[in-house]
A = this chain, B = another copy of it.
Amino acid sequence: MGIDPGLTRCGVGVVEGRPGAPGTMVAVDVVRTDPEAGLADRLLALDEGLRALIDAHRPEAVAVERVFSQHNVASVIGTAQASGIALLAAARSGLPSATYTPSEVKNAVCGNGTADKRQVTTMITRILRLTEPPKPADAADALAIAVCHLWRGGVQARIAQAAAKERIR
């Protein structure tokens, strides 16, 4: 499951496959919260939405786009809070998680870390052999994050999982 964190719109994409193979889209969705609501209520709605999707799709791992401080300063705090809720939701479900920078995601699906949104959408539509671009448009990024993890993260995730088990002993 790939998560493109956001407080107003949080993209979620579920992809099935294995490293090296193209992968198949299982689901794509956006969890929305009401910008008029209080912050705590919005975080709770996001938590409930993400946990419902985790329960529905039972992914093996969760990948979340890493928040960067060079983003719009006004929105970075909300995005950081949303990414924290996403990582917490994964951990509470006992799932391993990973984070990727936007350029890692673009590089994985486009072979170019500075690819624009349109290129990511074009490539993810092609990689997952979809008949049309995923909708809503922001969900394409979440699918790209999931594909990035599938291709790049498999090995790292297994190492992290082994390390986590080692810590529990």
| Chain A residues packing against B (C-beta within 8 Å) | 37-41, 43-44, 47, 67, 69, 73-74, 76-77, 80-85, 87-88, 90-92, 97, 99, 160, 164, 167
- Which of the listed residues A43, A47, A99 has the most CB atoms from chain B within 10 Å of its own CB? A43
- Residues on B with C-beta less than 8 A from A91 are 40-41, 43-44
State the Cβ distance, A163 to closest chain B Cβ, in Å. 8
In the A-B complex, the 3 residue pairs with the smallest Cβ-Cβ separation, listed nearest first, are A81-B84, A80-B80, A44-B91
A67 nearest in chain B by CB position:
B77
Question: A87: which of B40, B74, B87 is its contact (CB, 8 Å)?
Answer: B40
- Residues on B with C-beta less than 8 A from A81 are 80-81, 83-84, 87
State the Cβ distance, A35 to closest chain B Cβ, in Å. 14
A88 and B47 in contact, given A74-B69, A77-B76, A77-B80 (Cβ under 8 angstroms): yes
A69 nearest in chain B by CB position:
B73
Complex: how many Å from CA A14 to CA B79?
Answer: 29
Contact of A97 with B40 in the complex, beta carbons under 8 Å? yes
